[in-house]
Amino acid sequence: MYKTVFVKPGNKGWGVGLTLTPTEKMNKVVSVTGGGIHPVAQQIADLTGGIACDGFKNQIPEDETLCAVIDCGGTARIGVYPMKRIPTVDILPSSPSGPLSKHITEDIFVSGVRPEDVALVEHSDLEERQMAAIDHAHKSDAASAAATEKIVTKQEGRESDEEFKERYSKLKENHAEQQAKKDSFLVRFSRGIGGVMSTFYQSGRDAVDMLLKNIIPFMAFISMIVGIINYTGIGDWLAKVLSPLAGSLPGMIVLSLVCSIPILSPILGPGAVISQVI
């Protein structure tokens, strides 16, 4: 019996979360994270009763893929699975970017996910979580291929919650032992470097985005206002009226009050234009 999980965005992650429910045909959790099966992919597989697969070693059909777990910081790979309408879980706190960014939407993508961000969904609040996530995960009628790298034994029929919890705890212990043996120093090192580079890349992208959307338009606005004031002669009038105030403490207080007037502040850029004129 398969279970439903809700994958929420992690710290500084993007998206509203995904609700994942496997079926007999669509039950593979594909891990594309630099080799091996990532703990997030294994957590999703363990909780849902699905099968975690290494995407680099196995070719998983799209109609059998429940979701894809990636570690892309914002290049081409981040949009490959969303373009195919496959629910995508990014372990890095990435946002839509790259040449395929138009395909990355909240109903199909979530980022910054850690193993603790994956939780079982009870039937009572399933509808509420689905309303928040708006999950449009694809469904297909194609024939199911043989299971590859079967880590979680497929359960047929119904099982009680106690049996499921007992099976999950055993599988979690076995996976921890296998993962400790399987993860080499090179794999851990590459994941660490990938995380650092992704953080730098995201920081640079945020800085450029802030520069283009806020700083440069504000500079252009102030330059235009200063040019209009100087061209119309208002600047000379302001200089004659306000220059005497700039030479004393009471005058500076009056200037600060003028610059803080609610009507003038948004227009003058909190005194920037007046200071240029004076």
Decide the pairing of beta strands 51-54 and 65-70.
unpaired
Distances (CA, A) of 248 to 122, 242, 272: 69, 11, 19
Distance CA 132, CA 257 (A): 46
Residue 61 contacts residue 141 (beta carbons within 8 Å): no
CA 209 to chain centre: 16
Tokens of 235: 């600047």
Residue 43 contacts residue 119 (beta carbons within 8 Å): no
72 is catalytic: yes
Helix (H, G, I), strand (E, B) or coil at 278: coil
Decide the pairing of beta strands 18-20 and 5-7.
antiparallel
Out of 53, 67, 72, 259, the active site residue is 72
Tokens of 109: 């993508």
Residue with tokens 């120093």: 185
Listed in sequence order, the residues at least 6 apart from 210 whose beta carbon sits closer than 8 Å to its beta carbon are none
Helix (H, G, I), strand (E, B) or coil at 196: helix
> Taking the CA of residue 44 as centre, how many other CA atoms within 13 Å lie in the half-sphere pointing to its CB?
33
CA geometry: angle at 97 spanning 93 and 101, to 5°?
Answer: 120
- Active-site residue numbers? 72
